[in-house]
Structure 1
Amino acid sequence: MTSNHTDRWLLKPDLKARIPLSLSSIERGVREGWFPAPVKIGPRRIAWRESTIAAWEESRVTSTTDVKSVAA
């Protein structure tokens, strides 16, 4: 992956505002491997790269589209 200097860090409140899932569901998704893992950015701070979350959102849209086209 190439470095993107405009990529922002999303903290838990930012992520919660963007993703319609509870924080416990997000944490479960990380454990189960269906949601991107956060990056430790400090001793007691984790965050997600905005580009990683955008890619995850796009993959969800693509997989939903695939399911609808198969059902049609």
Structure 2
Amino acid sequence: MQQTSAPPPETQDQVSTVFLRMPSVIQMTGLGRSTIYRLIAQQQFPCPVRLGVRAVAWRRSELDLWSQSRPATSH
């Protein structure tokens, strides 16, 4: 009788990625569309991932990291 092995545990790279479209990114960050694209151009905001010819989205994990890197209080 042959034993079957259990599938390997998921690693960080294999965890399913959640993508957010622009309306969700705006709601999550409180930023406007033009501000998001300006920050992307200045390399201060995560770049979107192309989902199709005319569709882009952002990885939720990258947005969470960006949000955590923001100052907790204003000066």
Q: Where on the TM-score scale, by shorter chain, does this alignment land: which range?
A: 0.7 to 0.9
Find the aligned partners of 2:35 and 2:55 in 1 and give their Cα distance: 19
Extract unaligned runs of 5+ from structure 1. none
- Segments ≥4 residues shifted beyond 6 Å: none
Greater helix proportion = 1
What is the aligned-residue identity percentage? 30
TM-score normalised by structure 2 residue count: 0.75
RMSD over aligned CA atoms reads: 1.8
Find the aligned partners of 1:39 and 1:17 in 2 and give their Cα distance: 18
Find the aligned partners of 1:59 and 1:9 in 2 and give their Cα distance: 20
Q: Paired residues, what number?
A: 63
TM-score normalised by structure 1 residue count: 0.78
